[in-house]
Chains A and B, each alone.
Chain A
Amino acid sequence: MRLAKRFRSGAAARLGRGRTLRFHRGRPTRAALAGVLAGVLALSGCSLLGDDSGDSPASGGTAAPHATDGAGQDVPYDVTPLLKPAKKYFGASVPGAPTSMKNVDAYTRMTGKQPNLVEYYAGWGDGFDATGVRNAWAEGALTLMSWEPFDTSLADIAAGESDAYLKEYATAVRKLNLPVVIDFADEFNGHWEKWGTKDVTPAQYVAAWRHIHQTFVDAGATNVIWAWSPNIVNPVPDVKLKPYYPGDAYVDWVGLIGYFTAGEDNSFDSVFGTTRDRVRTFTKKPILLLETGAVPGERRRADIRNLFAGVAADDDMLGFIWFNHKKRADWRLEASPLALKEFKRLAADDRFGFDVRKPS
C-alpha cells in the first residue's frame, strides 16, 4: 500500500513536472505579451479619464466633447434688429418700473399705448435687476438702465478698481440673455453731476466707458445696447462733446437728455437741433431722446406736438422716453389734462411703438 501510494504520487509528481516544464517553455513570451497588453489596457483606460491632448497648446482636460456648455444654453440674443428698428421707440420712465410694472400699466391706460422702452436709474454698486428686465420684456418693452457712478470715480473704474463688480454684473447680464440698454454716467457734459465736467476729464470718461464696454464684451454680454448720453448742449454750450465720445466701436446709440423748458424757444430744433448737429460731426449713430419732458403749463401741448413731429420727421431719431416723474418740476403727463389728450392723440400714430420682441 505504501509502495503503491509512493508510486502514484511519484507518477503524479513526474506528470506534474512534465506539465510545468511544458508550460515554462511557452510561457515567458506569452506572459510578457500579456503584461504588455495589460499595460496598454491600463494606459488606454487612464487616458479615457485623463488628459490625452497634445495637439493643442490650450489643453484643459478631455471631457465629453459635446456636453452642452453651462454658459450657453441658448444662442445669445441678437440685438441688431433693435439697433435701428423701422418704427420709433415709445418710451417712459415711471417710478418703480420695471421692478413693478404697475405704473407702466397705468401709463399705458393713460396714454392709450404700451411703452416699449422703460427707463430706470441704478447706482454704481447696485445689483443687476434681471427680474425688472424680464417684467418689461414680458410686456413687450425693452429696459434702459441709466447707470450712475455716485460713489466711485471714473478714473477708478477705468483703472479696474471695480472690475470684480463689473464682471459679475456683465455675467449676470449675459446670463439673462435679453436685450438691455445701458447708459453710463449720463449728462457727463454738465457741471451738476458728480461725474460731470468739474471732476472728470474727457479722457477719464472715455477710458471708463471703454473699460466697461470691454469688460462686457469679454464676458460675452453682447445683448447690451450701449447708449452714450450727453445732456443737450444748450445749458453748457462751451463743453465740446467730441472728446467725450468713446468711438463708434463702443457706442450703439446717442442718447440725448433734454427738456422743453420755459424761457426757451420750444421748437424741436431749438431744444435738440444744436446738439444733434454737433453729434453728427463725429458719429452717424442713431439718436434716442433718452430723457425728455415739458414743463407743465399752457405750452405743454405745443411742446408735445413738436416732440412727436420732430422725432417722426428724422429717420435717425429712434424715439423718446418721457420722464414721467415729479422731480424739481411736475413732468408727469397727468399734470396737464389738455396736453395729455394731445399726447394720447399723437401716440396713437402707428409709427410710434412696436413690440420689441418682434421688431420689424
Chain B
Amino acid sequence: MSSRPEYYVPQPYDPYADDDPQGGWFNSDGFVPRRSQGYETAQGQVTPQGHAAPEGYDAPQGHVAPQGYDAPQAHDAAQGYDYDPRTSPYQQQDDQPTYALHTVAEPAAPAEPGYTVPETPEVGWDMAASRRRAWVSRAVLLFVLAVQAVLSLRLSNTAFQDEALYLAAGHAELQHLLHGTPLPIDYGAYFSGSPQLYPVLAAAVDGRFGLTGARVLSLAFMLGTTALLYSFTRRLFNERAALAGAALFAVVQSTIVMGYFATYDAAAVFLLALATWIVVRTDRAPVAAVLLAAPVAVLAVGVKYAAALYLPTIVVLALLTGWPHKGRKAFLRMLLLALGIGALLAAGMYSTDLLAGVRQTTTNRAHGSDSAAFLLQRSAQWGGLMFLTAVGGALSYVRRSRMNESPAAQRLGNPGWRWRALLGLVLCGTALLAPAYQMHLGTVVSLFKHVGFGLLFAAPMAGVGVTRLIGAHFRYPQLGIMLWTATLCLGIQQADWRFGVWPDSSKMIQVIDSHVDRKGHYLASTPEVPVYYLRDKTSHRQWQGVFALEYTDRKGTYHKGDAAYRAALRDGEFDLIVLDGLTNPRVDGVVAAAVKGNPHYRLLADLPFRNSSGTGHYRIWVKTA
C-alpha cells in the first residue's frame, strides 16, 4: 500500500473527512449561504452531521432527490430570482430579538438534546466470568458428557481377559478381607496395579450389579475425568478451550473404551486428572495447598503403577501454574509437591510388598517384538489427530497468548512466551511419554489405553488448538466441527474395533459350565474368563494358561515350554481344554496337535465367533478317558 503514489482520493465513507470544504454548511448565526439554482432543500430536513455522501454536493447537476422525499412546492424560489425568502437576512429583520432592549441575566442554557448517545464501551460484552457464561458452558459440558456416555455405553461384549482377571482377583481379595479365605494365587506378584485397590472396589460393584455395573463404574471415572479436564483447562485458559478440549477428549478411542472397561485404567486416569485439577486449582492458594495433590497422585500410582509416568508432568505443572501468580515461590510449590509425592511413594513401597509386581509388570516388563514404526503408526492412529491439534494449539499459543476476542484482553498481563512455550511443551510432550516408553518395551499391549493417559494432558492444548482453528468470533466453526467429527468417527470406529478384538465368550461358558467343578485341572487360552464367570465353582488355581507350563510327567521327568504341554496332554492331565486361537496361536497349535488322536480327549464343541479381525473359533475338548 505504501508504495503507491500519494495523491488525494476522496474517501467515500471516511468519517473523519471534512464535510464541506467550503467552510461549513451552517454558519454560527444560522445563515445558510445560497446554493446554486435547482438545489432543493426542504424545511425540516436534517442532514445529519457527519453525513459524508459525496454525491450531489460536489456535482449538483447530478443531484437526485431521494425517492419519496417531496419538497413542498411553495418554497420553491422563483425561477431566475436568486434569493431565498426564508434565508435572506433582510426579510427577517423585524423578527430578530433586539438584545440591547432586554436585560438577560444569563444566556439560556443550551437546550437539552433530544437524546444522548451513550458512551460507547470498548467492548460490548464483559470478559469476566459471569453466572450466565458458567451455566451455558456447563450445559455444553453436560452435552459433551452425554455424548461420551452414549459412546461408551453402546459398546458391548463379554468380559475381556484383563477385566475378568481383575474382577476375579477382586472377588478373591474381598473374600480374603471379609472371611480370611486364602488367596488362590499371589496376585500382587504379577498385577500392574495394587490388587487391593481397584479390583476390590470393582468386585464389590460387580458382586452387586454384575459386569455392567463394574463397567459403569469405569464410565463414572471417565466422565469425572472429562469434567475435571474441563475444569482445569478453564482455569488454565478459558471456557471455550476447556469445552473444545473436553469434547475432543470425550470422543477418542481410549476414553470411549476405558469408559466401559472394568480395568484399573479409568480409575487411574481419574486420579491423575484429580491430582492435576488440584494442582491447577491451587495456583493462587498458599504454596502448601499443592500438597493436597500428593496423596491423590500416589493413589493413582497405587491403582496402576504406570501412572507414575505422568507424575513429573503434574509436578512441573505445579511450577507452571504457580508462576504467574507467585513468581519464584512457584519453585517452592513444585519442590513441595515433588517431596510430598516422593515421600508417600517411598512409604507406600516400604509398607507393601508390591515392588516385585511393579518390576515385573511395569518397569522390567518383558520386551516384546513390536517394531517402533508399528507402534508409532498405531499411536498416530489412536491419538494423532488430537495430538496434532494440541501441537497446533501450543504453537499458536506461543505466538499469541490472547485467549479472548475482547480488546480488553490485550491489556491483561500475559505470561511471557517462555512460560507459554514451556506449558505447551510439557502438555504436548506428556502425550508422547507412553508411546515412547512402549517403543522402548517393544509392545503394543495396552498402548491404546496409555495413549489416552497422555491425551488427558494434551487435551487443554488441543482445546486451545480448536479455538484457534475456529478463530475469533466463531469465524470458522466448520473447521472445528470437521475436526471434532473426524475425531469422533475415528473414535467410534476404533472403539468398536477394540471391543470386538476378543470373542464373545458366553457360549463357551455355557458349554463348559457343566464340565467344571472344584477338583478339575483345566487348560485355557484365557483362563481368566472362565475363572471369572464360573467363580462360584472354580478357582484360579485350577486353571492353566497357554504362556508357560512346567510339568513333571508320570515317570517323573520334568518338562517345560511346549514339551510340557505335550507331556501333560499325553498323560491326560487336563480335564478340559479351551482354545481360542487368538491369545497364543503358536501354543494353541501345539496343544491342538497333541490332542489330535489323543485317546483321553473328545472334541466337546467347536464354537465359531466373529471378532474384529474376522472369524475364529473356540475349540473345547473334554477328557473322556
Q: Which residues of A contact B (CB under 8 A)?
A: 1, 3-4, 7, 11, 26, 30, 33-34, 37-38, 40-41, 44-45, 47-48, 52-53, 55-56, 58-67, 69, 71-72, 75-76, 78, 80, 83, 217, 220, 222, 247-250, 252, 284-285
Interface centre among B59, B511, B515, B613 (most CB of A within 10 A): B613
Specify the chain B residue showing the minimal Cβ separation from A65. Answer: B500
Instruction: Please tell me if the beta carbons of B486 and A41 are within 8 angstroms of each other in the complex.
Output: yes
Question: A30 to chain B: which residues have CB within 8 Å?
Answer: 469, 476, 479
Enumerate chain A residues within 8 angstroms of B497, measured Cβ to Cβ: 52-53, 62, 65
The 5 nearest A-B residue pairs measured at CB: A65-B500, A60-B614, A220-B606, A248-B599, A56-B613
Chain A nearest CB from B32 CB (Å) reads 24
Alpha-carbon gap, A59 to B605, bound state (A):
23
- Give the total number of A-B pairs whose CB atoms are below 8 A apart: 144
Measured CA separation A83–B601 after assembly (Å) = 13
From B597, B604, B607, contact of A249 by CB (8 A): B597
Please give 19 more A-B residue pairs, beta carbons under 8 A apart, in addition to A75-B511, A222-B606: A30-B469, A38-B482, A47-B493, A48-B492, A52-B493, A53-B614, A60-B614, A60-B615, A64-B610, A65-B500, A65-B611, A78-B604, A80-B515, A80-B624, A83-B624, A247-B597, A249-B597, A249-B598, A252-B624
B605→A222 contact, CB < 8 A: yes
Which residues from 469 to 495 on chain B have a C-beta closer than 8 Å to any C-beta of chain A?
469, 471, 476, 478-479, 482-483, 485-486, 489-490, 492-493
Q: How far, in angstroms, from A250 to B598 measured CA to CA in the complex? A: 9
- B603 sits at the interface (CB 8 A): yes
Q: How far is the CA of A222 from the CA of B603 in the complex (A)?
A: 6
Chain B interface size band reads 35 or more
A249-B59 Cα distance, complex, nearest whole Å: 113
Q: List 19 A-B contacts (CB under 8 A).
A: A4-B59, A34-B479, A52-B493, A52-B497, A53-B613, A55-B612, A55-B613, A61-B614, A65-B501, A80-B515, A80-B604, A80-B624, A83-B624, A220-B608, A222-B603, A247-B599, A248-B600, A249-B596, A249-B601
Cα A66 to Cα B622 in complex, Å, equals 27
Q: What residues on B are CB-neighbors of A3 within 8 Å? A: 59, 62
Closest A residue by C-beta to B482: A37
B35 within 8 A of A: no
Known contacts A38-B482, A220-B617, A222-B604, A65 near B489 by CB under 8 Å:
no
The listed residue (B64, B482, B607) touching A41 by CB distance below 8 A is B482
Q: In the assembled complex, how far is the CB of residue B63 from the closest CB belonging to chain A, in whole angstroms?
A: 10
Q: Is B496 an interface residue (CB 8 A)?
A: yes
In the complex the two chains form, is A4's CB within 8 Å of B616's CB?
no
The reply on B54 being an interface residue by CB < 8 A is: yes
Structural contact, B486 and A53, CB atoms closer than 8 A: no
A217–B493 touching, CB < 8 Å: no
- Judged by DSSP, the binding face of B is mixed
Contact in complex: B478, A34 (CB < 8 Å): yes
Closest to A74 in B: B507
Q: Which residues of B contact A33 (CB under 8 A)?
A: 469, 479
Residues of A within 8 A of B597 (CB): 247, 249-250
B360 at interface by CB-CB < 8 Å: no
Report the Cα distance A80→B617, complex, angstroms: 20
Chain B residues contacting A4 (CB-CB under 8 Å) are 55, 59, 62
From A37, A75, A285, give the contact of B479 (CB < 8 A): A37
For residue B323, which residues in chain A have a CB less than 8 angstroms away from its CB?
none
Residues in chain B near residue A37, CB distance under 8 A: 479, 482-483, 486
Contact B606 A65, beta carbon cutoff 8 Å? no
A41 and B489 contact, CB distance less than 8 A: yes
CB <8 Å contact, B62 and A34: no
Interface centre among B13, B499, B611, B622 (most CB of A within 10 A): B611
Contact of B496 among A26, A59, A61, A65 (CB under 8 A): A65
Say whether B607 contacts A76, CB under 8 Å: yes
CA distance A249 to B499 in the complex (A): 37
Report yes or no: A75 in contact with B507, Cβ–Cβ below 8 A: yes
Say whether B47 faces chain A, with CB atoms less than 8 Å apart.
no
Q: How far is the CA of A64 from the CA of B497 in the complex (A)?
A: 9
